[in-house]
Structure 1
Amino acid sequence: MREPLKLFVLGSCRVHRPIRLLQEQGRALLCTAGIPGYIHSTREARQRLRWLSEGQGLDRQLLPFLFARSVLPRLEETHRRELAQADVVVIEAAAERSVEVDGVFLQKNLVVRHLVRELGEPGMQWWRGLIRSGSVHPDDYARAMGEYRQLAEPALLASGERVLRRARCALDSEQAVRDDLQYAARLIGKPVVAVTHVDLPRPDGRLMVSRSQHVARVKAAAAALPGVHVIDPLDCARDMTREQVLDRDGEDLNHYCPAFEAVLAEHLHQQLHAAARIGSRKSPTHSES
């Protein structure tokens, strides 16, 4: 019987749940170095790896938009060893765009939770403007901030105001993804596997062009990098209907149904073992550049 793969995982439920199934079966160990919460992009993954290795890259004032508990995880030597002992590092590369404030990449779900949903129409207008133009229009900030002052918990007021005023949004370009994956591979000296989103069309049959383009960007970014591999969940879903892959009978474009999570778990197990075997023969140069 094979030894369980030690997998250091940086991602969301789309990778955590299938790998947790493997762990329950005794075929993998899911490692996170005690870092709670999900991420969705190579930008966030690089940021967390930098913090884990150097203790830098995070901003305490922005914690409500980085971790659901708004608490900075304790950084201990055992956590660094957990990363160093992993057979493979798994990074989710699903998000097409990233939101950042002063160079700190935010978890977009937490931005939506604390600002967009809470603020109603002013929050939605602020969010749409940010996604569309890449920066915050002064009028959108003024409307959203006026509402936020009335609703925000005192402990969140300063951090929320900073996000509402200074947020920037940009496409995760091929070069940015390449730089992030190369950083991870050089830092860790172990195989790095990027897992894309599943590129299925909408219920009406229309392709999600931005998602398709990002899957292609991730594959192109990783193509020439030693020690870096890409897993596309669509490769194990080609004979399945969207209802068999996506949650809520195929209506949820962002979450997998439990049956597909089991299929994806098997696919991940095969592909990650292959990456680990290649990595055991030849690893990228270890460097903390």
Structure 2
Amino acid sequence: MNLFDETRRAWRRPGPPPVRTLLWRPKQDRWRSLVVLSHGSGGAAANLGWLAEALCDEGFLVAAVDHHGNSSDEELLPEGAAFWWERPADLTVVVDHVQMTEKVGSAAVAGYSLGGYTAAAVLGARVDAAKLRRLYDGEPVLPIPPDRPDIVTENAELVARYGRAAVDARAVGDYRDRRFVAGVLLAQAICPILSDASLSAIDRPVLVRWGGADEVEAPEVNGQRYTRLIPGADGRSMGQHVGHFEFGDIPDGAAVRSEVLADVLPFFRALLAD
């Protein structure tokens, strides 16, 4: 599906941003509910095909989004990596469209890495304004990605391009969508910059899974913090030797993904009405 968000403008080209979406339809005419998936930074919707196919086999209608400027299936833009708070709005666009065109009621969300943050955001997680100011002042509030060693300078240039007030307003916005009744966060990111109060106010069932050897997103400040602050969150490590990318689509992660599915499928099955 080639959707567009008419409420926003695309980066570096005229018109609204695209919300390209892959859809998996169950074989039966009537499905349980909708599950929306969000990929990691620089990844693509297809990377979560392993999860989408398993959910589809369970009778769920599944939609996976390619996030504008941050997907390998289109041009990667610095805004896509830096302005990650734009991602949750993509999921709302998908639910808007699917609920108008398909026979579906309740919705749930699952995300991997930066998609884990995206899932948390539509459940109510918000950026802490004070921490964001510190980040833009050059403090290491978040780790510097290996592929973006000049991230502080890059972010400063982007903020100057779009205007500090406009960026701040979008960054700390509330992107909660009450239609999402449950969420799954896998090898999740960005938690250090989220406000404690917003995480503590999430009132949806949340399942959190991470790897003890995650080399990208430290579990202590991500998976463990999400689990500690979200009321009733079901969180655990998938093993002390499990890294970040086993949750993606690399061949070496098949066993981990199988174990993740053993938790995720009954979690959604129990919470989403037929």
The normalised TM-score by structure 1 is 0.41
Structure of greater Rg: 1
Q: If each structure's helix is expressed as a fraction of its own residues, which one has the higher value?
A: 1
Higher relative contact order (CA 8 A, sep 6+): 1
The normalised TM-score by structure 2 is 0.43
